[in-house]
Chain A
Amino acid sequence: SQTIHQWPATLVQPVGSPLSLECTVEGTSNPNLYWYRQAAGRGLQLLFYSVGIGQISSEVPQNLSASRPQDRQFILSSKKLLLSDSGFYLCAWSEGQDTYEQYFGPGTRLTVT
């Protein structure tokens, strides 16, 4: 069966520090991968998605970036965090193009101080 991992679970970082969040999926090949952010009490904002290694689509211009160095690994990064980057970051995967639901990881709760 498929499993999605995210780490760390929680993170407190000062403004201006770098960020690296990692997501890995097990049990499937060539998944579509997604990064979402959820501000407190708000809905989901799609940040990036990837349909293959090295293929990244950005939905929101900001100081975040994403990379997919391996088929089942998706990394969210920032060189300098802003206060507004605080939130709950969720990684998700789906299979195929049209027909499949997304499955979400446990999330990373980021607080920028």
Chain B
Amino acid sequence: AQKVTQAQTEISVVEKEDVTLDCVYETRDTTYYLFWYKQPPSGELVFLIRRNSFDEQNEISGRYSWNFQKSTSSFNFTITASQVVDSAVYFCALKGTSGTYKYIFGTGTRLKVLA
């Protein structure tokens, strides 16, 4: 069975602080894909990043960075120097490759960045 766990339900930080959102996944597939999405108050989910299971390089995009560790089945997301506009719900998702079209989403982490 596939599963994504986002243990942090809600996080509050003060603007300019760094914050890390945790994501732990379970899958038996040897090849799989991991994703992060942002859901601002408007509701639409915005795709942030895709990571393939065979590529463990960490990625940085501006203030965003992602740390993928297969050894601990984690795909954590760090926002550096957070801003109020980062306030949103963030979802981690997993897609296996064993004949499935389904994406498994975590329950999301609500991030509140206070001015």
Contact surface of A with B, Cβ cutoff 8 Å: 32, 34, 42-44, 46, 49, 51, 57, 59, 88, 90, 92, 94, 97-107, 109
Contacts and interface: CB of A to CB of B under 8 A. Distances in A.
User: What are the 5 tightest A-B residue pairs by CB atom distance, in nearest-first order?
Assistant: A43-B107, A104-B45, A98-B97, A107-B43, A44-B105
Interface of B: 31, 33, 35, 37, 42-47, 50, 52, 91, 93, 95, 97, 101-103, 105-108
Contacts, number: 54
A103 B108 contact: no
Contacts of A97: 97, 101
A43 B106 contact: yes
B42 to A, nearest CB: 8
B107 A90 contact: no
Nearest to B43: A107
B106 A49 contact: no
